[in-house]
Structure 1
Amino acid sequence: MPSSARPFLFACAALIALPALASARPAPQVLCHVTYGGETQILRASPVASPYAVAPVAIGSYFLFRIVVQTEPAALAAVKLYTYADREGGPVPIHQQAVAWPPPRLRPGAPGGFTGLQWVYEPVRDGELQYWCERRADRSAR
């Protein structure tokens, strides 16, 4: 192989490898610290293409909590948080919060995160759910 072809081949190999390197970057993740009945759960969410595929998570016997992270398209990029009352007739929305993407970067575990501490009350049983969310850079976050 002529030595003049080596730089060209090296450049081609680098261009071919570039998408693989870009996809190896850690995906952003949102962690929500949800407290109900004295117990705290950490719920994790990664960006999704469609918000309709994200199912809520049961919290206790009454609440459902849903985290939707959309990073594209830019006009719709947001973190949307939904709390539902799990009623006999089906879920009823009782709280919603939306934060533009990307949310502010704070130090990991900063109290209140990018949402601030939120309180949601059961309209029937007088219970309380609290949550706050933070952004992490990868899936290995605690």
Structure 2
Amino acid sequence: MPNRCQRLLAAILLFAAPVHAETLLCHVTYGGETQDLEARPVSSPYTVPVQPIGSYFLFRIVFQKEPADLAAIKLYVFADRDSGPLPIQQATHPYPPLAGKGAGFGFTGLNQVYEPIRDGELQYWCEWSPSSGPAR
């Protein structure tokens, strides 16, 4: 029968072990600044918020694995207009994602989206990891 110290050590190791979960990591660059946005699978696409990028863009990652007929990775770019968000790009990728489209640019390849008013550019690419941590 394990003593108290052995049980405590076992409990610490159990909770300290890394959790392996699928992760999407999107590298979004705007105005010379890159943000790494992480997403995990969701059960409903309706609960996924947008992430502000600079003062003009909004970025949204929907990573849905179930049900199987709806499994996909959807990426959205919106213009943050005074009248409300205006969709300017939407990309759908299969789940699980296919092999990389461009050298060093994950399964999406490098995407470039332009502001229709201010003439700025947002770039992004995304990678998938079947376990926790960056997929690099």
Normalising to structure 1: TM-score of the pair?
0.77
Larger radius of gyration: 1
C-alpha deviation, 1:25, in angstroms: 6.3
Q: Secondary structure at the match of 1:35?
A: strand
Give unpaired runs (5+ residues) of structure 1.
Answer: 1-23
C-alpha deviation, 1:139, in angstroms: 3.1
Matching residue of 1:32: 26
Instruction: Say whether the 8 Å CA contact 1:78–1:101 is kept in structure 2.
Output: yes
Give unpaired runs (5+ residues) of structure 2.
Answer: 1-17
Q: Counterparts of 2:99 and 2:121 in 1: how far apart (Å)?
A: 28
Matching residue of 1:5: none
Q: Pick the aligned partner of 1:62 from 44, 49, 56.
A: 56
Q: Pick the aligned partner of 2:129 from 132, 136, 139.
A: 136
Question: What's the RMSD between the two structures over aligned residues?
Answer: 1.6
C-alpha deviation, 1:105, in angstroms: 4.8
Instruction: Say whether the 8 Å CA contact 1:105–1:135 is kept in structure 2.
Output: no
User: Structure 1 residues 104, 43: CA separation in 2 closer, same or farther (over 3 Å shift)?
Assistant: same
Instruction: Say whether the 8 Å CA contact 1:82–1:96 is kept in structure 2.
Output: yes
Normalising to structure 2: TM-score of the pair?
0.80
Identity of aligned residues (%): 60
Q: Counterparts of 2:92 and 2:114 in 1: how far apart (Å)?
A: 18
Q: Pick the aligned partner of 2:42 from 39, 43, 48.
A: 48
C-alpha deviation, 1:75, in angstroms: 0.7
